[in-house]
Amino acid sequence: MMLKSRILAATALVAMALPGLSIAQDGEKLRFVVVSHIGSNDPNMNWLTMAMDEFEKKYPDVDAEYISTNNYSVQEHVRLLEQAIATRPDGIAVPIVSPDAFEGPLRRAIESGIPVVAFNIPDGRPTEDRIPYLTYVGGDEFLTGKRLGEYALEQVEAGAIPAPTGVVCASHDSAHEGLKQRCAGMREVMEGAGAKFEELFIGAEPATARNTLQSFLSANTDTNYIFTVAGWSSPWAWGVANDMGLKPDVDNEGITVLTVDEGPVSIEGVRNNHILATNSQGFWLQGYAPLEWLYWNTKFGYAPQQDILTGPIVINKDNAENWAELVRNVFGEEAYNQQNTW
């Protein structure tokens, strides 16, 4: 019995040591590449890169690289993806910003044996049509808009804000599937409540975006909800409405502003009563979990049997303090205050 136990223990030890041994023998680390649309102009990149640092600490036999583009161009993103594939990494994590544009390179990568995990934005097509990646790790963009819309209607019921008559979804990228899904989720709820719904492309340049939104609000006087699909554009929307005398703070009159993300701008907007609510889609997990699944797939063949949803969670005045504390710890006090553009 004793001998049997020793043999089992020794076998287990050898099994655990084997992968490390093979790497040590190869003298090469695994290399996973995250090809992201979240560039250095987006504070959310911090969540992802910090999570990747933690991953590298836990798995020193892996190099995790973050590649991104700042200009929201699908073409540029595809170019970066193709460059990354050409370097033959051991795994790729990528948001499926445009299923059509990403299909070709990703199918080729998967067929050549590179495992792929989608993060942040899934391939929204039916399962049988979608790119055959291992799994999706991230929020559900449609649910993000839907949950925020539902929360707004709960607040209408409670008498905290006016009922929606017209809703504008202000988007900075007309080709971004994830942003379209956020708008679609909000549209479903708001049209269900009898409100008019419009999707407006405002661009990412601040002055142009303000000018565009102001034009829209001037011409559509029944609009009383603004949903900005990026946290950083929420102060622009609030500022435009405020300049126009449309009373955009959270109360039972004027315009109501909703936004997304757990960055300092969104959270401070909620805390200062400028924003009704924002959301978290578990950004830290989106940086960490895809790499972990790539690792376990590469080493042991593990493959999740379903998508892994990391959000959305509604951040409102009740939990904004807790979120502010968490985000301060992630970003640091100075960066947090600097990025609070209210």
Partner 1 sequence: MNNLVRGQSFGAVIGVALMLVVFSLIDFSGWWRSSTLSNVVHFTAILGLVAMGQALVIMTKEIDLSVGSVYGLTGVAFITLEPKLGVPGSVLAALAIAATVGLLQGLLVVKGKLPSMIVTLGGLFTARGLIYVWTGGTVQNFSEAARGNWFTRLLGGEWFGVEAAIFWMIGLCIALNVMLWGTRFGNQLLATGGSFDSAESRGVRTGRVKVVTFMLCSLLAGFAGILTLADKPQSHVTLGELMELEAIAAAVIGGCLLSGGRGSLVGAVLGAFIITSFRYELIALGAPSSWFITFVGVVLIVAVIFNQNLARRAGHSV
| Segment interacting with partner 1, rule: CB under 8 A, options 13-21, 23-31, 86-94, 233-241 | 233-241
- The distance of closest approach from Cβ of residue 266 to partner 1 in the complex, given in angstroms and rounded to an integer, is 12
- The distance of closest approach from Cβ of residue 135 to partner 1 in the complex, given in angstroms and rounded to an integer, is 29
**Does residue number 212 form part of the binding site for partner 1 (CB under 8 A)?**
yes
- The distance of closest approach from Cβ of residue 175 to partner 1 in the complex, given in angstroms and rounded to an integer, is 10
To which residue do tokens 């509604």 refer? 314
Q: How far is CA 143 from the centre of its chain?
A: 12
Residue type, 223: T
Tokens of 314: 């509604």
- The distance of closest approach from Cβ of residue 206 to partner 1 in the complex, given in angstroms and rounded to an integer, is 5
CA distances from 253 to 9, 105, 163, 185, 250 (A): 69, 50, 9, 24, 8
- The distance of closest approach from Cβ of residue 112 to partner 1 in the complex, given in angstroms and rounded to an integer, is 33
Q: 85-144: which residues touch partner 1 (CB under 8 A)? A: none
**Does residue number 341 form part of the binding site for partner 1 (CB under 8 A)?**
yes
**Does residue number 210 form part of the binding site for partner 1 (CB under 8 A)?**
yes
To which residue do tokens 């990391």 refer? 310
**Does residue number 340 form part of the binding site for partner 1 (CB under 8 A)?**
yes
- Check if the beta carbon of residue 281 is closer than 8 Å to that of residue 138: yes
Measure the CA–CA gap between 150 and 123, rounded to whole angstroms: 24
Q: Give the dihedral of Cα atoms 177, 183, 187, 190; nearest 10 deg.
A: 160
Tokens of 311: 């959000």
**Does residue number 174 form part of the binding site for partner 1 (CB under 8 A)?**
yes
Angle made by CA atoms 186, 188, 190, in degrees to the nearest 5:
65
Give the count of residues interacting with partner 1 (CB under 8 A).
38
Q: 306-335: which residues touch partner 1 (CB under 8 A)? A: 335
The one among 22, 40, 273, 329 contacting partner 1 by CB under 8 A: 40
**Does residue number 200 form part of the binding site for partner 1 (CB under 8 A)?**
yes
Q: Count the neighbouring beta carbons within 10 Å of the beta carbon of residue 70.
A: 14
Binding site for partner 1 (CB under 8 A): 39-43, 45, 70-71, 174, 200-208, 210-212, 214-216, 218-219, 232, 235-236, 239, 244, 265, 335, 338-342
